[in-house]
Homo-oligomer: A and B are copies of this chain.
Amino acid sequence: MKVAVDAMGGDYAPREVVAGGLDAARGDPSLHVVLVGQTDAVEAEIRACGGAPSNLTVHHAADVVDMGDKPVESLKRKPDCSILRTVQLVATRQADSCVAAGSTGAAVAAAMMTLPRLPGVRRPGIAVPIPARNRAGVCLLVDAGANPECRPVHLLQYGVMGSNYYRLMYGEAEPRVALVSIGEEESKGNLLVKESTRLLKRAAVRFSGNAEGKDLFRGNCDVAVADGFVGNIILKTAEGMAEFFFGLLKEILPGDPRPVLGALARRTDYAEFGGAPLLGMDGVVFISHGRSDRRAIANAIRAAARSVSANVRGELTRGLTDEGGE
C-alpha cells in the first residue's frame, strides 16, 4: 500500500509533513510512504528525524506551488511542483493514494487537472469529518469548499458519494443523509435547497431530511450535504467558535488549564480525524488542514490507506444514476 505525500504543502512543511510521514511508515510496515518534494530539503528533515525506514522513499519535485489565489494559473506556471507530482503518482498508479496539506484550492485543481472523474460524477466534493454525537462520533460534511457554485445534481451526487464513503469507512450500513438548510421544514431554505431536497428524496440513500447547522454536532445525521460555499462557512465557523471557546477557557479555568484544554482538543481537533477525501475523482486524494502537524499528517496517511483497503474507489458511485439533469 503506497501513499504519496506532498512534503512541501502546509504551514509547517516540510518539517511536520516529513515527521508525520516517518511516524506513519514506522508504525505500519505494510505501508510505503513516498515523500514528494525538493530532495535536499526533504532529506535534511529525514536526517534530523533519525533517518528513513526502508518503507519510506523520496520522490523529487523541483517546485513548490504558491499559496496565492489562482491555483490553476499557479499550477500551469509550475508543472514540476510537488502537489502536481504527488497527484501524478496516483494517476500513473505508482501510488495507491495521496495526501496534501497545502492550499486546498491547489490540491483540488491538481486533482482535477490530473485525474479523470469517476464515471457519472459531475463535480468532485471535499468530505470533511467533523465531531458529532452519533455512533461513529463523526458527521461527514460534503462539500466543504471544492464547488462554491453548486447545482441540485451536484448536491444529489454528494449525498450518494458521502453515503457510500461513510458506510465503507465508518461501518454504518445505512448512513442518514441530511441536506443543510435553515430549518427542518421543506418550505424553508433557498431555491437550491428546495430542488435538491426533491432529488435526494428519490435517491438511493437514507435521506433523513433537512438539517440545521446545530444538527451536525448533535449527531442527528451521518452525512451532511451542502454546497461548497455553505459547507466551507460551516467549517470555518465551527473552527472560529472552537478557537473562541479555547481562548475564554484559558481565562476562566481555575489553576492550570492545560489538562482540560488537552482533553477537549482530543475530542474536537481536526488532527484526530485524518484529513478529508476529495470525493469523485478516479484516485484517492486526501486533503489535510493547512495547519497540520505530524500527528494530523500521520492520521491522514492512515485514513488514505484505509480508504484504499475499503475499496472506496470501486464503491463510491454505487447508486449514482444520471438523474437530476444538468
Contacts and interface: CB of A to CB of B under 8 A. Distances in A.
A182 B232 contact: yes
A244 B133 contact: yes
Given A145-B182, A254-B259, 5 more contacts: A69-B185, A69-B188, A213-B236, A218-B243, A254-B260
A214 interface: yes
Interface stretch (A52-60, A197-205, A261-269, A314-322): A261-269
Contacts of A238: 213, 237-238, 240-241
B267 A240 contact: no
Which residue of A105, A228, A252 has the most chain B CB atoms within 10 A of its CB atom?
A252
Contact of A148 (B189, B234, B245): B189
B190 A212 contact: no
Contact of A237 (B133, B191, B216, B249): B216
Nearest to A232: B182
A210 to B, nearest CB: 11
Nearest to A249: B264
A187 interface: yes
5 contacts: A148-B190, A149-B190, A182-B232, A213-B236, A234-B237
B214 A239 contact: yes
A180 B149 contact: no
Contacts of A247: 133
Interface of A: 69-70, 105, 131, 133, 145, 148-149, 180, 182-183, 185-191, 193, 212-218, 228-230, 232-245, 247-249, 252-254, 259-260, 263-264, 267-268
Contact of A245 (B183, B230, B245, B253): B245
A193 B230 CA distance: 12
Nearest to A219: B244
A205 to B, nearest CB: 21
Nearest to A71: B187
A233 B230 contact: yes
A217 B191 contact: no
A180 B185 CA distance: 25
Closest 8 CB pairs of A and B: A214-B240, A213-B236, A213-B237, A69-B185, A217-B244, A182-B232, A241-B241, A217-B240
A84 B253 CA distance: 46
Select the residue from A145, A217, A244 with max chain B CB neighbours within 10 A. Answer: A244
A216 B239 CA distance: 11
Nearest to A214: B240
A145 B145 CA distance: 22
Nearest to A68: B185
A241 B243 contact: no
A42 B198 CA distance: 43
B245 A264 contact: yes
A240 B215 contact: yes
Nearest to A70: B187
A180 B237 CA distance: 11
A180 B238 CA distance: 14
